[in-house]
């Protein structure tokens, strides 16, 4: 199949592209490189003739239509959009503009070119602050009480997709994947997460402390009502996330309308679990200091991923150890990013 | 003050424009006339030099910017966007595109031209299906479980505005008005509601039955758990709604960030109340038949409007009788619409 991957030069996008190419699919990446690296893209482009790269912004409808004219697209994977929670609070218009319009443009081009299959990258942040008694989270738990513009935009696009599926259930075949906390890197160490600006997630910060780029790890709160007092999250290896997308390609034929999947391990791990696992992976102690809780941080969030296992035959198989070791390998091989 | 009224040729917009002009404000209407009438616009334009009309779509950012360049805008009233609940379910993309982007373009132009004051027309549909025990609805009751794309778009724009206010609380002065069920027409009978296509609301349907344009009134359900079995709504005279906007003009100076107001009478009236009041107004019996409930219709919804009274000094004063009489006068004077 020919798969258009919007945002395919980004973190989850690039790992997914590699899996798609390995499985023999043709891939057309559309990415404006606003938070990703051309190097990776050229590196991929040399690997295979199955791969094309188009440096466009999905928000440019005319040029996006030209991409659909040029390639015979079967499936769209939509990883487009900005993804920094903090930035979204400071610059909400940026998020409301790009993170909704990009997907809308993809949908318009799809409709015009009779493409029916789209997978949208959503996020566990659509669940807002979940009822701590009701964990693990299931796909039909309530959504929408989102904490930041980033999460709200994910929720809005989910609403749009669900309304499209209601309006034309015989046309659209839509999958929504709600990622929990994707971490790690490709086993080769060649691709990984190389965010521009300040990394806001725990694992990149751990790696920066280990390489000396960051003096100390800030741990936000140690008095949560969790097993060790630190927040619990559902960390999932980015290559497991990529595999979920590969499984999804075959699954569109079984869908009418829209299906939503939690993409996580189903196991909650604490900040201290991650610190220990990362110390073991990099062989160094990680200095830390405990700071105040951040507003909006929930004590625990982890998912029930059984729907993805049942329907896609997908299960996250990689351990915490692998997540940390693979991330560390990427940092050792790419001390200055790509 | 100079007030840009987006969607100023529409139902609530046009009544508000008349009130603004009467109060001595300068008004610039931007309307693409997709669901409104040029006649009205020209009629107004001849009345006063205080009025300008620009036939543009707020979704055209470049041309909207030219409007802001041409006039020295102090305040923006945003009535733009499509408003048919049923259409929004059939054509969700239309709503997600126009009803969000139009407002975003207004906000961008405002930022660029240092305009701070905006009033956004929202709707009681953002409350979704409210807890029947918790009526009347207050502004801080929960929102977001919306039933249709029209309502979701209203909710999304509210979220955007609220996030803007959070991001730049010292810049923006934002008012959101959640209208309940605006009905009636200007006392002159010269302007009123003249929707293109099938009117979906009770009052225009009653008028169509009375004029013979529609053979019979369909009443959707008579076994609701309400006082007379028919659904209860908070009907409010469109001229009262217009007055609320006039009051709002003076109130921007007291706002930092965002304030939300319920705009209704606070009194629930049933379908049968409306039928009786309209029969009295038009002097004819209204034939009806009872049909099945419509999915998504709630038994009762009415608001607590006391915040608007407290802060804006506004209270809906016109009776059910006036709503029906004014609407009927408009239909008698304009049997074929404008």
**pLDDT tens figures, B154-180:** 999 999 999 999 999 899 999 999 999
User: Is a pLDDT exceeding 80 seen at residue A43?
Assistant: no
- Beta carbons of B108 and B61 less than 8 angstroms apart: yes
Q: In this predicted structure, what is the pLDDT of residue B47?
A: 62
Structure tokens at A230: 């630190």
Q: Does A149 touch chain B (CB under 8 A)?
A: yes
Q: Tokens 């945003």 correspond to what residue?
A: B78
d(CA A20, CA A13): 10
Q: What is the mean pLDDT of residues B16-44?
A: 81
Interchain proximity A92–B164, CB inside 8 Å: yes
Sequence-ordered strand ranges (E) for A98-231: 117-123, 173-179, 181-183, 217-220
* Count of other CB atoms within 10 angstroms of residue B196: 12
pLDDT at B48 over 80: no
Per the CB < 8 A criterion, the answer to whether B263 and B317 are in contact is no
The residue of chain B with its CA nearest to that of A96 is B160
The residues of A annotated as belonging to the active site are 150
pLDDT at A42 over 60: no
- Are B92 and A144 in contact (CB < 8 Å)? no
Cβ of B167 within 8 Å of Cβ of A90? The answer is yes
Count of CB contacts below 8 A, A vs B?
65
Q: Give pLDDT, residue B149.
A: 94
Is domain B2-190+235-267+302-317 in CATH 3.40.640.10, yes or no? no
How far is it, in rounded angstroms, from Cα B204 to Cα B198?
A: 9
Residue A233: predicted pLDDT? 96
Provide the pLDDT confidence category of residue A37 given band limits of 50, 70 and 90.
Answer: low
Q: Note the pLDDT tens digit of each residue in B220-251.
A: 999 999 999 999 999 999 999 999 999 999 99
Q: Does A160 touch chain B (CB under 8 A)?
A: yes
**In whole angstroms, what is the distance from residue B95 CA to residue B168 CA?**
27
Tell me whether A94 touches chain B (CB under 8 Å).
no
The 8-class DSSP code of residue A3 comes to: E
Distance CA A81, CA A103 (A): 8
Residues of B in contact with A107 (CB under 8 A): 93
For B335, the token pair is 């049997």
Chain B hits for A101, CB-CB cut-off 8 Å, are: 101
Closest partner residue to A91 (CB to CB) among B90, B160, B167 is B167
Looking at every residue in chain A, the average pLDDT score rounds to: 92
Q: Which of B96, B120, B127, B145 to mutate to test the interface with A (most CBs of A within 10 A)?
A: B96
ipTM confidence:
0.79
Please report which confidence band the pLDDT of residue A295 belongs to, taking 50, 70 and 90 as the band edges: confident
- Chain B residues in contact with A90 (beta carbon < 8 A): 167
Mutate to test the interface with B, among A59, A61, A93 (most CBs of B within 10 A): A93
Q: Torsion angle, CA of B88/B89/B94/B100, rounded to 10 degrees?
A: 60
Over the stretch A265-285, which tens digit does the pLDDT of each residue have?
999 999 999 999 999 999 999
Touching check for B108 and chain A: CB below 8 Å? yes
pLDDT > 90 fraction of chain B, expressed in percent and rounded: 77
Question: Considering only residues 162 to 221 of chain B, which have any Cβ-Cβ distance to chain A shorter than 8 Å?
Answer: 163-164, 166-167
- Give A96's contacts in chain B (Cβ within 8 Å): 100, 104, 156, 160, 163
Shortest Cα distance, chain B CAs vs residue A200, angstroms: 19
Distance CA A183, CA A269 (A): 13
- Helices and strands (H, E) in chain A, number of each type: 11, 13
CA distance A305 to chain B (A): 25
Residue % of chain B over a pLDDT of 70:
94
Interchain CB distance below 8 Å, B163 and A144: no
* A65 CB within 8 Å of a chain B CB: no
* Domain locations along chain B: 2-190+235-267+302-317
Q: Model pTM?
A: 0.88
Please give the residue of chain A at the shortest CA–CA distance from B90: A167
Per-residue pLDDT, B272: 97
Question: How do beta strands B269-270 and B232-233 pair?
Answer: antiparallel
DSSP letter for A280, please.
H
Nearest by CB: A92 against B101, B145, B160: B160
Q: Does the pLDDT of residue B95 top 90, yes or no? A: yes
Contact A167 B90 (CB under 8 A): yes
**Interchain CB distance below 8 Å, B149 and A159:** yes
Of B100, B108, B144, the CB nearest to A100: B100
Closest CA–CA distance from residue A133 to any residue of chain B (Å): 21
Which chain A residues are closer than 8 Å to B145 by Cβ? Answer: 144
Instruction: Out of B11, B98, B127, B150, pick the active-site residue.
Output: B150
| pLDDT value, residue A158 | 97
Q: Which residues of A touch B92 (CB under 8 A)?
A: 160, 163-164, 166-167
Contacts of A152 in chain B (CB under 8 A): 156, 159, 163
- The answer to whether the CB atoms of B93 and A159 lie below 8 A apart is no
Q: How close, in Å, is residue B55 to chain A by CA atoms?
A: 24
**Which range, A130-134, A175-179, B32-36, has the best average confidence (pLDDT)?**
A175-179
* R_g of chain B, CA atoms, integer Å: 19
DSSP states along A53-78: EE---TT-HHHHHHHHHHS---EEEE
Cβ contact A27:A21 at 8 Å: yes
CB atoms near residue A232 (< 10 Å): 22
Q: Cβ–Cβ of B144/A149 closer than 8 Å? A: no
Rounded to a whole number of angstroms, the distance from the CA of B128 to the nearest CA of chain A is 13
How much is the average pLDDT of A223-234? 95
Q: Is A96 on the interface with B (CB under 8 A)?
A: yes
Find the closest chain B residue to A163 by CA distance: B92
A101 to chain B: nearest residue by CA?
B97
**A129/B contact by beta carbon, under 8 A:** no
DSSP label of B214: S
Residue B22 scores a pLDDT above 80? yes
Under the banding of pLDDT at 50, 70 and 90, the label for residue A335 is confident
């Amino acid at each position: 199949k020919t798969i258009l991957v919007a945002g395919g030069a980004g973190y989850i996008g690039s790992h997914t592209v590699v899996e798609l190419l390995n499985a023999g699919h043709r891939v057309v990446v559309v990415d404006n490189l606003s938070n990703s690296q051309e190097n990776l893209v050229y590196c991929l482009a040399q690997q295979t003739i199955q791969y094309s790269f188009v440096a466009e912004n999905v928000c440019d409808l005319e040029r996006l239509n030209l991409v659909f004219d040029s390639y015979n697209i079967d499936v769209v994977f939509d990883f487009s959009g900005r993804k920094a929670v903090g930035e979204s609070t400071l610059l909400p218009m940026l998020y409301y503009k790009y993170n909704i319009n990009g997907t809308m443009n993809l949908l318009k081009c799809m409709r015009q070119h009779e493409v029916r299959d789209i997978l949208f990258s959503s996020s566990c942040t659509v669940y807002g602050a979940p009822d701590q008694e009701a964990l693990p989270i299931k796909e039909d738990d309530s959504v929408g009480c989102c904490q930041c513009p980033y999460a709200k935009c994910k929720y809005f696009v989910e609403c749009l997709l669900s309304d499209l599926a209601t309006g034309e259930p015989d046309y659209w075949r839509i999958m929504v994947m709600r990622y929990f906390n994707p971490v790690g890197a490709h086993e080769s160490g060649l691709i990984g997460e190389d965010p521009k600006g300040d990394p806001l997630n725990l694992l990149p910060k751990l790696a920066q402390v280990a390489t000396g780029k960051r003096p100390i790890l800030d741990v936000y709160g140690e008095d949560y009502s969790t097993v060790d007092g630190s927040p619990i999250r559902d960390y999932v290896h980015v290559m497991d996330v990529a595999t979920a997308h590969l499984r999804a390609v075959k699954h569109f034929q079984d869908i009418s309308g829209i299906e939503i999947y939690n993409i996580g391990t189903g196991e909650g791990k604490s900040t201290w679990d991650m610190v220990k696992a990362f110390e073991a992976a990099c062989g160094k102690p990680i200095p830390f200091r405990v700071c105040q809780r951040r507003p909006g941080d929930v004590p625990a969030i982890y998912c029930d991923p059984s729907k993805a296992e049942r329907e896609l035959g997908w299960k996250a198989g990689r351990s915490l150890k692998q997540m940390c070791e693979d991330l560390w390998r990427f940092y050792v091989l790419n001390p200055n990013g790509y």
